[in-house]
Chains A and B, each alone.
Chain A
């Protein structure tokens, strides 16, 4: 891909990720446990990471975190989002190096797990209450399930696009 193609592709994917993020934020939480959500916008981060490139995916992530926080009116949540997002990105970057693309869902599970760990660590640091760590087991369960789901979404789209020669 040429640089201009990468720029426009990332811009479109960022816009789509934001729309999905905002729509997902409108769905009422079905549990009283903070931090459990599908994290559908991670499909776009993963897709960009594999189809466009590392710096582009990082840019998408940062823009999504900041604009998403502002658009949903939850600016206070940006700090937690950012801590989780950056830790998850680091984990997924390492996963991308070590695992083949057909195990993208594994990379996504690790991303989701570390996203939840990062958010929890930020919450412990902000409130100074280590009791928040009681939520760690349930957040890991949620991370494994939602991470596998979003990872499979990105993996299937990538495979189809590569098979139809839309992507190299």
Chain B
């Protein structure tokens, strides 16, 4: 194929990805319940609309501790033991935004959707 064809293909792919990146947050669930997962297991659920004061929750993993700050309507990672600090720089979990992820500690903080909460209700956790 000609170089010009390749450039067109990649520009097209860029446009598709840009559209997906901008549109995806709107498709995410917008509940107020947040789940904290480590190694794919649910550690804790928090209903952010029911939180009254600021509390912290510490998760320990291979790369040290993650201190998670829970305040009314907001959840973020305050400090992390790993060198890259990606989860701290992410900032608070925004409505419809991407989950907070700490790869070294295999920690994920994300909005729960309806199926997740139903599952929890059934198992009684």
Docked pose: A106 CA to B82 CA in angstroms: 35
Docked pose: A34 CA to B13 CA in angstroms: 21
Chain B: minimal CB distance from A102 (Å)? 8
- Interchain Cβ contacts under 8 Å between A and B, 22 examples: A32-B86, A72-B83, A73-B83, A102-B3, A103-B3, A109-B10, A127-B101, A127-B106, A127-B107, A128-B37, A128-B40, A129-B37, A129-B99, A129-B110, A131-B98, A132-B99, A132-B108, A134-B28, A134-B99, A137-B17, A138-B17, A144-B14
CB of B21 within 8 A of CB of A126, answer no
CB of A128 within 8 A of CB of B39, answer yes
Would you list which residues of chain A between 96 and 118 have a CB under 8 Å from chain B? 102-103, 106, 109
Q: Tally chain B residues at the interface, Cβ within 8 Å.
A: 34
Q: Which of B13, B24, B39, B63 contacts A127 (CB 8 A)?
A: B39
CB of B90 within 8 A of CB of A32, answer yes
Q: Tally chain A residues at the interface, Cβ within 8 Å.
A: 31
Q: Which of A109, A137, A141 contacts B24 (CB 8 A)?
A: A137
Residues of B participating in the A interface, judged by any CB pair closer than 8 Å:
3, 6, 10, 13-14, 16-18, 20-21, 24, 28, 37, 39-41, 62-63, 82-84, 86, 89-91, 98-99, 101, 103-104, 106-108, 110
Count A-B contacts at CB 8 Å: 86
Q: Say yes or no: is A167 at the interface (Cβ < 8 Å to chain B).
A: no
CB of A127 within 8 A of CB of B37, answer yes
Q: Which among A57-65, A74-82, A158-166 touches the partner chain? A: A74-82
Q: Which chain A residue lies CB-closest to B106?
A: A127
Q: Say yes or no: is A7 at the interface (Cβ < 8 Å to chain B).
A: no
CB of A29 within 8 A of CB of B40, answer no
Q: Which chain A residue lies CB-closest to B3?
A: A103
Central interface residue in A72, A74, A127, A138, by most chain B CB within 10 Å: A127
Docked pose: A156 CA to B108 CA in angstroms: 42
A102 surroundings in chain B (CB, below 8 A): 3
CB of A129 within 8 A of CB of B108, answer yes
CB of A129 within 8 A of CB of B84, answer no
Residue interface mask A135-159, B partner, CB < 8 A = 1: 1111011001100100000000000
